[in-house]
Chains A and B, each alone.
Chain A
Amino acid sequence: MIRIDWNEVKKKAREFWSEYRRFKIGLIGLGLLVILVFMAIIPSFIFPPETYYNWNNYPGWEYNPRLAPPEWVNLFSSKKYTPPKTIEPTKMEGLWQYYAEVYIKLNNITDENLKKQVYEVFKQQMAGKGYVYYYEYDFKWDIPSSDLVIIVSNVSTTIKLTLGIQRPPSPYNGQLLNVSLYPAFTTTVTPTNGTVLIHLANSDQLMQALIKNYISKYESPDIFKNATENNILSANVLSPVTLLFYAPGPGMIYGQQGVTKGVYKFNITVEATNGSLEYPPVIKIRIPGSCYGLLGTDFRGRDIFVGILWGSRVALMIGITYAVSVVLIGLIYGVVSAYAGGLVDEVMQRINEVLYSIPLLPFLILFAYTIRQLYGTLSVWHIIGVLIIFAWTGLAIVVRSMALQIKEQPFVEAARAIGASGRRIVFKHILPQLMPYAFASMALAVPGAILIEAGLSFLGLSDPNIPTWGKMIYEAQNSLSSWWWVLSPGLMIAVTGMAFVFIGNALDTILNPRLRRL
């Protein structure tokens, strides 16, 4: 049994720290590492776990805009992006109320008693038949949202849903235009306990309503004709929601007239197609906007900030698991080889040299692919495993030569002379001498593993479900102009690598006084 003298360890650690503290670069690295560890821990507490293991298809992404820059770009940009917003109804009433009011208006009923009677009659006839919801959206930005989502939940029976839109008054040829669209959009919703999302970004109905009531009237005939002939005015090419916000005038379909700012009014009528509703469904309108959160979104509406945080966990996991395993294996292999000597040493060195000369990259590609084909999926652990199998050898060579030098030193000889066992000499005398070197190598090994994982991801070989930085870069390669999506994962890889290189270099300089700056 080998006893550890804790006081000695404490004293050594304190000495080491007072030395380490003098290296500014080492302290920066340590600071970065603390931030990274924090980043790796917090997502478990603030994001649903589904965003991690179901990164591609987490339902929450449906509420987000796609390819939207971060919200803080509004601080620097002269054109302001629309932030996301969920609008609650300002007013809700039964359908009978609505019809009664219409009836009263049409027939010019002024007598209060008569009005009450009308209300009574409509209530008896139509209670529970349907509801009307009113919304107001104050739009004051320059780049509108390209999507509008109707969020429907608690639907007890099949309903018909109709959306009406009233644009704010907008100046056109010296007068104020009031454009209303009714019905702008109609659909049926079947009963559900969950939530139904209705996206209007690709709605041809809304497009047709806009063309009929708005665009065909105020767009210049030439542009309108050209656009219709070239099939530009279709919901697959232009988002009707964006067009809704564009101000009237020539070139309006391309946004050349700017946007109309003001209060947009929406109303949604739901009507049970059969029987009556037990309770009113809950309906909200979501404007995903054109900018999002701290780091924006990617082409699927995934929040890049969430991906970056989860990615830091994956990266640290890969880097640290790899570094610790490789250093431990290399250390033990090298020391055993050096201590055993003779034929054992020779054989171990031959094996090591052959493995060391095998190129890493093609084997990683090959084995990652093979594992994916054979097991149908690939996890980060597979990649780490293959990486460890092929990459431990370099360290073992260095450790062996260092251990050979230590082995020849008088104190080892003395220990052997008083009858210490081989195990005791290895663990008590040789390994402790190598520990500082081992820690420096661990720190320096981390960035390599992270870079290799990123590289494999870039070839399409990555864990398909979870977010990793490499995968994010891989997916961003065809959207280079979405700088927020391209930059953040790459910078994170660089910063993480830097943190460990800085720490490793500080350790290396302490251990290798020759390199110290003069």
Chain B
Amino acid sequence: MGYGRYLAFRAVNSLIVLLVALLIASLAFNALAEKTIEAIINDKVNQVRQQLAQRHVEFIDVLKGVKPRLLEWNITAKYKDKTWNCYLFLDNYEKGKLGNMSEDDINGVAEQCYLSYIKMREEVSWGLNLPSYVRIMLYVWKSLTLDFGEARMKYPQFGTNEIRAMVLIAMGRTALLFTTAYMINVAIAILLGLQMARKVGSPLDRGVSVIAMISASLPMFWVAMLLIYVFTYQLHIYPGVAMEPMPASIKGNILEELKWWLWHLYVPILTIVLVGFGGGAYATRNLVISIMQEDFVTTARAKGVPERKVIYGHVLKAASPPIVTSISLGFIGTFFGAIISEVVFQWPGMGSLYYLALSNADVPVLMANTFMFVFLFVLVKFLLEIVYGVLDPRIKASR
């Protein structure tokens, strides 16, 4: 029962985090959207004006077609320093009460009225007429239902223009590259950390500790650039980009396809491992050292348990919950660098999508990517908490 309650508590917590994060993000998007949508609407109004001018349409005639809307939205327009109520104007015109106005003036007022109507129509379709808190809630709802619409620009790397599909593809690719690299990282970190802790002060321990400190301050995208320079420009053993169209000849042949992916991904993976493994090993070492000084380890040793069994049995078992924690923290830290390095390798994952959306000023894509990132992040954290609960029996007992 204890573990169930722990899980429920964590789940509720994750949900609250998700909602708060989405709310904050929606706040920013609301501000952004107001700014960009205004520009879009102005473009649209100008477009309509030009179209009508080309077709030599009498504005008063098109205005008649939208008469109910004029009343509903209470459309007004400015013409020659006077503000006109468009519905009343049209009404009076139809009843023939505007006899003293020239033909030009009537058409002028009608044009302004029609453009005001177009502007209002666009605003309504974008939801700008709603109060901002409603719009923010709408953003939260849209992101929860993954309803992001179409991208404004073209993104050939993702093969689709529907934002939801695009972001899901990007997420999958990032997960593929990053998870692979991170698994390797964790394995190296645990093995190396245990060795370091067993022989504190040895050359291995000192060496890896220094590497850990240095690599903690290396910008990963910079390391990526250096590796590309060495592997591609100097040694010519890497294609330079992580993603190329796969030749048709090897499609379907699983072994060949795997080779193709390895050939393109080994340098990106190497980058993530190179920057990450030191920190992980150092954290493991510190945790293991502090646990090795606990009484139960001394007891085990005094009992005559072989040293191997003490390390891999007793110590690792006790150290695994904090290792999971530090790994999950490291996960977050490395993820940041990794998705930026995607830009260097032109690996079309979430980082590249961010880069493209930012340079295209494509707000909906930016929004979808951010929301997806938040989902992914909260989900991973929740999963790690479940694992943590399984590993650490004290958690089952409490709560």
By a beta-carbon cutoff of 8 Å, the part of chain A in contact with chain B is 25, 353-354, 357-363, 365-367, 369-370, 373-374, 447, 450-452, 454-455, 458-461, 470, 473, 476-477, 480-481, 483, 486-487, 489-490, 493-498, 500-502, 505, 514-515, 517-518
CB pair A458 B221 closer than 8 Å: yes
| Seed contacts A359-B21, A514-B290, A515-B286; 5 additional CB < 8 Å A-B pairs | A357-B14, A359-B378, A498-B213, A502-B213, A514-B289
Q: Is B2 an interface residue (CB 8 A)?
A: no
Contact B340 A447 (CB under 8 A): no
A328 to chain B, nearest CB (A): 22
List 9 A-B residue pairs with CB atoms under 8 Å apart, sorted by A's residue number. Answer: A353-B13, A362-B25, A365-B370, A369-B32, A370-B32, A451-B217, A459-B355, A498-B217, A517-B201
Instruction: Bin the interface of chain B by size.
Output: 35 or more
Q: Which residues of B contact A517 (CB under 8 A)?
A: 200-201, 205
Query: What is the bound-complex CA distance between A496 and B358, given in angstroms?
Result: 29
- Report whether A501 and B336 are in contact in the complex, using a CB–CB cutoff of 8 Å: no
The reply to whether A366 and B25 contact each other, CB–CB distance below 8 Å, is: yes
Among A361, A370, A458, A459, point to the contact of B28 (Cβ < 8 A): A370
Of listed A359, A490, A495, A500, residue having the most chain B CB within 10 A:
A359
Query: How far does the Cβ of B268 sit from chain A's closest Cβ, in whole Å?
Result: 15
Q: A460-B359, A481-B233, A490-B222 are in contact. Are A358 and B374 (CB under 8 A)?
A: yes
- Distance in angstroms from A93 CB to nearest chain B CB is 53
Interface string of B1-42 (1 = CB under 8 A from A): 000000000000110110011001100110110011000000
For the complex formed, measure the closest distance between the CB of B280 and the CB atoms of chain A, giving whole angstroms.
15
**A518 close to B222 (CB less than 8 A):** no
Q: How far is the CA of A386 from the CA of B221 in the complex (A)?
A: 22
Whether a CB of chain A sits under 8 angstroms from the CB of B214 is yes
With A357-B378, A517-B200 in contact, is A373–B32 under 8 Å at CB? yes
Least CB distance, B371 to chain A, in whole angstroms:
8
**Which single member of A361, A501, A514, A515 contacts B216 (CB below 8 Å)?**
A501
Q: How far is the CA of A494 from the CA of B21 in the complex (A)?
A: 32
A455 to B354, CA, bound (A): 12
Question: Which 9 pairs from chain A and chain B are nearest by CB?
Answer: A497-B217, A490-B222, A359-B377, A362-B373, A357-B17, A362-B370, A447-B217, A370-B28, A501-B213
What is the bound-complex CA distance between A369 and B358, given in angstroms?
Answer: 8
* Inter-subunit contact A497/B218 (CB<8 Å): yes
Which residues of B355-380 have CB atoms within 8 Å of chain A's CB atoms? Answer: 355, 358-359, 361, 366, 369-370, 373-374, 377-378
Whether the pair B217, A494 counts as a contact (CB closer than 8 A) is: yes
Q: Which residues of B contact A518 (CB under 8 A)?
A: 200-201
B181 at interface, CB cutoff 8 A: no
Q: Is B339 an interface residue (CB 8 A)?
A: yes
Which residues of A are found within 8 Å of B219, using beta-carbon distances?
451, 454-455, 458, 470, 473, 490, 493-494
B393 → A minimal CB distance (Å): 21
> How many pairs of residues, A versus B, come closer than 8 Å at their CB atoms?
153
Q: Determine if B24 and A473 form an interchain contact, defined as CB atoms under 8 angstroms apart.
A: no
A461 touches B358 (CB 8 A): yes
Chain A residue contacts of B218, Cβ below 8 A: 490, 493-494, 497
Least Cβ–Cβ distance between A518 and chain B, in angstroms: 5
User: How many Å from the CB of B308 to the closest CB on chain A?
Assistant: 20
Cβ proximity bits B284-321 to A, threshold 8 Å, 1 near / 0 not: 00100110010000000000000000000000000000
- What is the minimal beta-carbon distance from B327 to any residue of chain A, in angstroms? 16
Is the C-beta of B272 less than 8 angstroms from some C-beta in chain A? no
Q: A360-B336, A459-B355 are in contact. Are A477 and B214 (CB under 8 A)?
A: no
With A366-B370, A481-B233, A515-B289 known as contacts, the answer to whether A358 contacts B24 (CB < 8 A) is yes
CB-defined interface of B191-228 with A at 8 Å, one 1/0 digit per residue?
00000000011000100001001101111011101101
Contact with A along B165-205 (1 / 0, CB 8 A): 00000000000000000000000000000000000110001
A363 CA to B373 CA in the complex, in Å? Answer: 10
Is there contact, CB below 8 Å, between A459 and B214? no
Kindly state the separation between the CA atoms of A459 and B213 in the bound complex, as whole angstroms: 25
Contact B228 A480 (CB under 8 A): yes
Quick one: closest B residue to A476, CB to CB?
B225
The reply to whether A505 and B336 contact each other, CB–CB distance below 8 Å, is no
Write out the residue numbers on chain B whose beta carbons fall within 8 Å of the beta carbon of A366. Answer: 25, 28-29, 366, 370
Asked whether B229 is an interface residue with its Cβ less than 8 Å from the other chain, the reply is yes
User: Is B250 part of the binding interface, using a Cβ–Cβ cutoff of 8 Å?
Assistant: no
Please indicate the chain B residues that have their CB under 8 angstroms from the CB of A489 in the complex: 222
Nearest opposing residue in chain B for A508, CB measure? B286
A513 CB to closest chain B CB (Å) equals 11
> A359-B373, A458-B340 known; A480 and B229 CB under 8 Å?
yes
* Interface residue? B337 (CB, 8 A): yes
B343 within 8 A of A: yes
B113 at the interface (CB under 8 A from A): no
Shortest distance from the beta carbon of A367 to any chain B beta carbon, whole Å: 6
Whether B355 pairs with A361 at a CB distance below 8 angstroms is no
Q: Which of B233, B359, B369, B381 contacts A362 (CB 8 A)?
A: B369
Q: Which residues of A contact B48 (CB under 8 A)?
A: none
Bound CA span A447–B336, Å: 14
Determine if B70 is an interface residue (Cβ-Cβ < 8 Å).
Answer: no
Q: Which residues of A contact B31 (CB under 8 A)?
A: 370, 374
User: Complex formed: what's the CA distance from A481 to B17 in Å?
Assistant: 45
The answer to whether residues A501 and B217 also contact, given A354-B20, A359-B332 and a CB cut-off of 8 A, is yes
B222 near A481: Cβ-Cβ < 8 Å: no
B163 CB–A CB distance under 8 Å: no
Rounded to whole angstroms, the CA-CA distance of A518 and B216 in the bound complex is 24
**Contact B229–A481 (Cβ < 8 Å):** yes
B373: chain A residues within 8 A (beta carbon): 359, 361-362
Query: In the complex, which residues of chain A have a beta carbon less than 8 angstroms from the beta carbon of B369?
Result: 362
**A460 contact set on B, CB distance < 8 A:** 355, 358-359
Chain B residues with Cβ under 8 A from A496's Cβ? 217
A494 to B222, CA, bound (A): 10
